[in-house]
Chain A
Amino acid sequence: MIVRIMGEGQYRLSDDIRERVNELDNRVVAAVEGNDEDGFHAAFEELLDVIRNDGEHLGDDELETSDVIIPPADTSMEEAAGDFSGEGLIPD
């Protein structure tokens, strides 16, 4: 699966990383729904870190379409609410 972190570029995720990202995705959704600002930032940052550290960064010459687009790192909980609802960014 290929994901894009807006403003940072694209990453290729293996299946087990995808699984972890999906869990974090659901935690972000739960935090947004519970209006838990701290919980949102903690889960969202962890989600981004897993992608950055464990995903494979796509080269600038690779032209791929992302399966999932993730809002930028400085997103506020308010701004993120539209993206992180229901099943979140990654369908369960």
Chain B
Amino acid sequence: MAGMAGRMSTVIKSKISKLLDKAEDPGETLDYSYQKQLESLQGVKKGIADVVTAKKRLGMQAQKLEQSVVKLDTQARQALAAGNEELARTALERKQLAQTELQSLDQQVAELQSQQEKLTESEKRLRHKIEAFRTKKEVIKAQYSAAEAQVRISEAATGVGEEMADVGLAMQRAVDKTEDMRARASAVEELEAAGTFEDLTQLGAGQDDIDRELAQLGAGGMVDDELAKLKAELGQGSAPAPAELESGSGEGDKP
């Protein structure tokens, strides 16, 4: 069972041995390696751009969620002011869910930011190594016999190859994480679609998955607390007992 470092060694060895198989003319091998290195560098740059795009997308989703939180809060107040406590509770439950998602999104954006910084550092390191290789290959071509050049090429190519494998694996990890985030984010989008109510009168009870999820969430005391706070703010009696809150069929029955 190979760990990450073990996998990396395997990758490097197979790449280098493939490269040296081709090495009939050392000069050609050197130029070919350099060409491949430049191509890899382009791949790394593209990978970093993908991370930036993913980060931006998540940032935009976070903004949308922020707006939902504000909107749901307003709706809860309006509902309560109109005497519809049931509706206010539902709005607060959704607000709670949106806030939780928002926190996790913010955290993911921060994670992507730090990955982006690390990858940019790695890209810089790789660029310098490739530059060093370019210089070295001219020295090797000029100074060594074919047999000795073989050894030097192997050393130099492995030095760069290691750096490339390292960046490559870091990139792969970043992509894997981004994909997890994307899956989560699309779940959040679903919430977005069902989340805020265009029309306060259109809200029914318990008709979809999200409502069921919300009901579970609402079981925690946080929504109760917030509802009580809101009531106090609106001057509807100070902090009512929980029993009072739970009596469902009051005067605010839905039509």
Binding site for B on A (CB under 8 A): 4, 6-7, 9-10, 60-66, 68-72, 75, 79-85, 89
**Interface residue B255 (Cβ < 8 Å from any Cβ of A):** no
Selected contact of A84 from candidates B3, B125, B155, B162, CB within 8 Å: B3
Q: A82 touching B136 by the CB < 8 A rule?
A: no
Q: How far is the CB of B151 from chain A (nearest CB, A)?
A: 12
Task: Please indicate the chain B residues that have their CB under 8 angstroms from the CB of A83 in the complex.
Answer: 2-6
Shortest Cβ distance from A73 into chain B, in angstroms? 10
Chain A: interface secondary structure? loop
Least distance between A17 CB and chain B CB atoms (Å): 19
Contacts of A62 in B (CB 8 A): 132, 159
B5 close to A63 (CB less than 8 A)? no
B169 within 8 A of A: yes
A47 to B169, CA, bound (A): 21
Q: Give the residues in chain B near A70, CB-CB below 8 Å.
A: 5
Are A6 and B2 also in contact (CB < 8 A) when A61-B131, A62-B159 are?
A: no
A63→B166 contact, CB < 8 A = no
- Chain B CB within 10 Å — which of A4, A6, A10, A71 has the most? A6
Q: Is the interface of B mostly helix, strand, loop or mixed?
A: helix
Known contacts A7-B122, A65-B155; decide if A60 and B129 are in contact (CB<8 Å): yes
Pick the residue among B4, B118, B131, B159 that contacts A71 (CB under 8 A): B4
The number of residue pairs between A and B whose CB atoms lie closer than 8 Å in the complex comes to: 72
> Which B residues are CB-close (under 8 A) to A68?
5
Contacts of B3 in A (CB 8 A): 71, 79-84
A4 to B165, CA, bound (A): 12
Partner of B5 from A10, A64, A89 at Cβ < 8 Å? A89
Query: Which one, B1, B128, B132, B155, contacts A81 given CB within 8 A?
Result: B1
**How far does the Cβ of A48 sit from chain B's closest Cβ, in whole Å?**
13
| Bound form: Cα–Cα A75–B159 in Å | 23
Q: Give bound CA distance, A7 to B117, whole Å.
A: 11
With A60-B132, A63-B133 known to touch, is A6 a contact of B4 (CB < 8 Å)? yes
Beyond A4-B166, A6-B166, A7-B170, whether A71 also contacts B122 by CB under 8 A is: no
Whether a CB of chain A sits under 8 angstroms from the CB of B78 is no
Residue of B nearest to A69 (CB): B5
Confirm or deny: B120 has a beta carbon within 8 angstroms of a beta carbon on chain A. no
Q: How far is the CB of A59 from chain B (nearest CB, A)?
A: 8
- Tell me the bound Cα distance from A61 to B170 in angstroms: 21
